[in-house]
Amino acid sequence: MSVINKIRERSGLAVGVIAVSLILFIVGGDLLGGRSLLFGGDQQKIGEIAGKSIAYPDFNAKVDELRAQFEQQTGRAPAEQDIAQLREQAWNQMLFEIAYQKEFDKLGLKVSPEELVDMVQGNNISPAVRQAFTNPQTGVFDKSGIISYLKGLKNLPPQQQQAWANFEKNLASDRLREKYEGLMRLSIFATTAEAQKEYQAQNTKADVKFLFVPYYAINDTTVKVTDSQLQDYLDKHKDEYPGVNSRSIQYVTFSVAPSKEDSATLYNDIKNLARGLGAAQNDSTFAQQNSDVRVPLYMTAGEMPEQLRASIPTFSPGGIYGPFREGNTYFIYKYGGTKRDTSFTARASHILIQPAAKTDSAKAEARRRAEAILSQIQGGASFEALAQTNSADGSAQNGGDLGYFKNNGQMVKPFETAVFGATSAGLIPRLVETDFGYHIIKVTQPKTNVLYRIAAIGKTITPSQITRDEALRKADEFASQVRTKEAFDAKVKEDKSLVMATAERIPEGANQINALTEARPVVRWAFDDKTDINDVSEPFEIGDQYVIAVLTNKTDKDDVKVTDYKNELTAKVRNLLKAEQIVSKLGSATGSLEAMAQKYGAGALVETVPDVNLATGFLRSAGVDPVALGTAFGLKPGKRSKPVVGEAGVLVLETTKVTPASAVADYALYKTQLQQNNASRTGFYINEAIKEAAKVEDRRAKFY
């Protein structure tokens, strides 16, 4: 009886314990291991900027705000890649609002309401406002359009009012940044001494002759590098090898690419759709409802894919054309007549001859060369062949072909006037001069403003569930048989259909691994505290393939190890050991450099470089080598250096001639050049300095 009473006394406590246990079982992941602060810790902390902690809910709210703006502007939900960019944008905004704002406040920088009005509708309108209110048809900016829009703003939906408020906020932020960066640029100054040094570096010339023994002349396998040598080198060059949190993996993929059966099934489906498209009274609606790809209803010949364009001569109203395959998509088209466009389209090829300099003599020389080429073409020479060997434009590799283009400013005005002034295909019998140089032009398709009405259906081949299941079966079978790095390597070696890829030093925030896009699941697995080196993952579905990875290395920003930079350190130390061998073999050889090279034997070269300068010097086989170049300019003419351990090998240098830079009275040009070069990097340096001063801690990779 006493036992029963004890049980009754304790029953209330037992029920309480069970209730708490059930609650923790249901939501424990969120309360204890997730992003909650219920039991202390900082699981919700997504980062820290200038001493201010950034909580996950606050950051997510910022992302949601940007997501809403994105959907309003584009009319669609953001894809995964868009969301990653929105998160980056949100983080940068927070960095600006916290870290940058502190700097602005120190300097008293502000954008007043009056200044903002001036930027939007006053005398100094922001380029962003100009772009937003420029008529896309005429290219003309009209300030009255802004005023009219603002007067009617209160009558617009709340979303549009909020969008404008965000736009003005961004205008003010951009202006603040411009002011700050402007002040920083004004602080950049190059002294006359610096300008003089730059002038001399660019204009002092030397003729250099040298003996060069490249490191590759000694086989790598003959030089043994020990771990202690690597550690010793790392200890002496720590600043060159900063610590970073990263992971290295090897992986194999199992493709989920559509099979031949999937392709055949889709081909039959699209033939059925072709019959439906042909019979449809409202063919554009039918096409839109059944197509995986949006295709405009009206197209010029130039906008058509090549296979459809080739069918133009056979077009008849209501005719069905295709299926045509483009990549993994089959297209069918229904022709529905033509109409006239307001603009014209043409196709042309050209050969561009550019002057070597902006001088009258250089322009005259370029014109003579262009006229000679034009004469060759008029005499029967191949336009395409001459374009490939003479044109300064990127179209040269295509025989000068520029493809189709419209008369809407895509081309510079004189070029556009010449092409659209032609009434037929063929060579334009005169040179056309533009700011780029002299053009020899052949019109391959004369202008036309015909628009073709084309209802199109595009169906993309996708893997069937059977195909997906088969790929997953293979991936699961592989994963079940390899739980260690050794087993992983053995299985890859055994299965010749598998290709093992390597990804070194993946950062924690990476979204892509080599060609694998949206690979965050693999990255998160690699950085998981429970994942050890040589662990093998389960299959990850990444895009159209399954990925199985093995973790091969970890690096820690606070603990740099030799293994973090094993390949780079080995190459450096091996070259130093080779340098010792080369210097020892050269010994104290005398005589000409040719005699020294002959005595050294295989691998030694003797080269001469005339008119090399200190600023941009290139020593032929030795490449760009600052130490060797500095040594050469430090020698008096006729003197020889001791062996110099360079970047690519060992050199013995002789400076045969030095031509000093001529004296100039004014170094203003070089002073300006130095200041502009430094100013062009101001924005980047400011951002890095502010982040460093703000001691930014970015933990976003732990959450996404």
Residue 90, pLDDT > 70, answer yes
What is the length of the chain?
704
In this prediction, residue 4 has a pLDDT band, given cuts at 50, 70 and 90, of very low
Contact 522, 545 (CB under 8 A): no
Which alpha helices (DSSP H) does 482-534 contain, by range? 485-494, 520-527
> Exposed, middle or buried: residue 263 (CB in 10 Å: 0-12, 13-18, 19+)?
middle
Share of the chain above pLDDT 70, in %: 93
pLDDT digits (tens, 9 = 90+) for 433-461: 998 899 999 999 999 999 999 999 999 88
pLDDT digits (tens, 9 = 90+) for 485-529: 999 999 999 998 899 999 999 999 898 999 898 899 999 999 999
Structure tokens at 532: 């050890």
Per-residue pLDDT, averaged over 178-201, amounts to 90
Q: Which amino acid is at 363?
A: K
- Own/partner contacts of 193-198, CB < 8 Å, gap of 24 or more, are 194/671, 194/674, 195/667, 195/668, 195/670, 195/671, 195/673, 195/674, 196/667, 196/670, 198/615, 198/670, 198/673, 198/674
Task: Return the higher-pLDDT residue of 205 and 24.
Answer: 205
Task: Return the higher-pLDDT residue of 81 and 474.
Answer: 474
Rg (the chain; Cα; Å): 35
What is the reported pLDDT for 68? 86
Residue 246: beta bridge partners?
Answer: 507, 555
What is the reported pLDDT for 607? 95
Residue 18, pLDDT > 70, answer no
Per-residue pLDDT, averaged over 379-395, amounts to 91
CA dist., res. 454 & res. 345, Å (int): 17
Contact 277, 332 (CB under 8 A): yes
Q: Tokens 């924005």, residue?
A: 683
Average pLDDT over the chain, rounded to whole?
A: 88
Per-residue pLDDT, averaged over 319-342, amounts to 92
Residue 283, pLDDT > 60, answer yes
CA dist., res. 62 & res. 86, Å (int): 9
In this prediction, residue 422 has a pLDDT band, given cuts at 50, 70 and 90, of very high
What is the reported pLDDT for 585? 93
pLDDT digits (tens, 9 = 90+) for 308-326: 999 999 999 999 999 998 8
In this prediction, residue 263 has a pLDDT band, given cuts at 50, 70 and 90, of confident
What is the reported pLDDT for 136? 67
Residue 192, pLDDT > 50, answer yes
Residue 29, pLDDT > 50, answer no
How many CB atoms are closer than 10 A to CB 690?
A: 19
Which alpha helices (DSSP H) does 247-336 contain, by range? 260-279, 283-290, 306-309
What is the reported pLDDT for 33? 41
Give a three-class secondary structure readout of 641-694: CCCEECCCEEEEEEEEEEECCCCCCCCHHHHHHHHHHHHCCHHHHHHHHHHHHC
Residue 24, pLDDT > 70, answer no
Give the three-state DSSP class for 139: coil
CA dist., res. 485 & res. 119, Å (int): 62
In this prediction, residue 463 has a pLDDT band, given cuts at 50, 70 and 90, of confident
Residue 47: beta bridge partners?
Answer: 54, 698
What is the reported pLDDT for 409? 80
Residue 10, pLDDT > 60, answer no
What is the reported pLDDT for 81? 80
Share of the chain above pLDDT 90, in %: 59
Per-residue pLDDT, averaged over 47-62, amounts to 92
Residue 337, pLDDT > 90, answer yes
CA angle 98, 102, 107 (to 5 degrees): 150
> For residue 24, how far is the Cα from the chain centroid?
46
Residue 45: beta bridge partners?
Answer: 55
What is the reported pLDDT for 12? 44
In this prediction, residue 137 has a pLDDT band, given cuts at 50, 70 and 90, of low
Comparing CA positions, the residue from 184, 164, 171, 167 lying closest to residue 111 is: 171
Contact 560, 242 (CB under 8 A): yes
111-128: burial string, b at 16+ Cβ within 10 Å, e else:
beeeebeebbbeeebbee
CA dist., res. 390 & res. 450, Å (int): 34
DSSP E strand boundaries for 366-524: 401-406, 426-427, 432-434, 437-460, 501-507
Residue 358, pLDDT > 80, answer no
CA dist., res. 41 & res. 34, Å (int): 11
pLDDT digits (tens, 9 = 90+) for 615-647: 888 899 999 899 999 999 999 999 999 999 999
Q: Tokens 């032009």, residue?
A: 441
> Exposed, middle or buried: residue 616 (CB in 10 Å: 0-12, 13-18, 19+)?
exposed
Residue 547, pLDDT > 60, answer yes
Its pTM stands at 0.61
CA dist., res. 527 & res. 509, Å (int): 10
CA dist., res. 434 & res. 354, Å (int): 10
Q: Taking the chain, what is the end-to-end CA distance rounded to the nearest angstrom? A: 59
Phi, psi (deg, nearest 5) at residue 387: -65, -45
CA angle 237, 238, 244 (to 5 degrees): 140
Quickly list DSSP for 369-395: HHHHHHHHHHTT--HHHHHHHH--SGG
CA distances in angstroms from 287 to 300, 325, 495, listed in the order given: 19, 17, 45
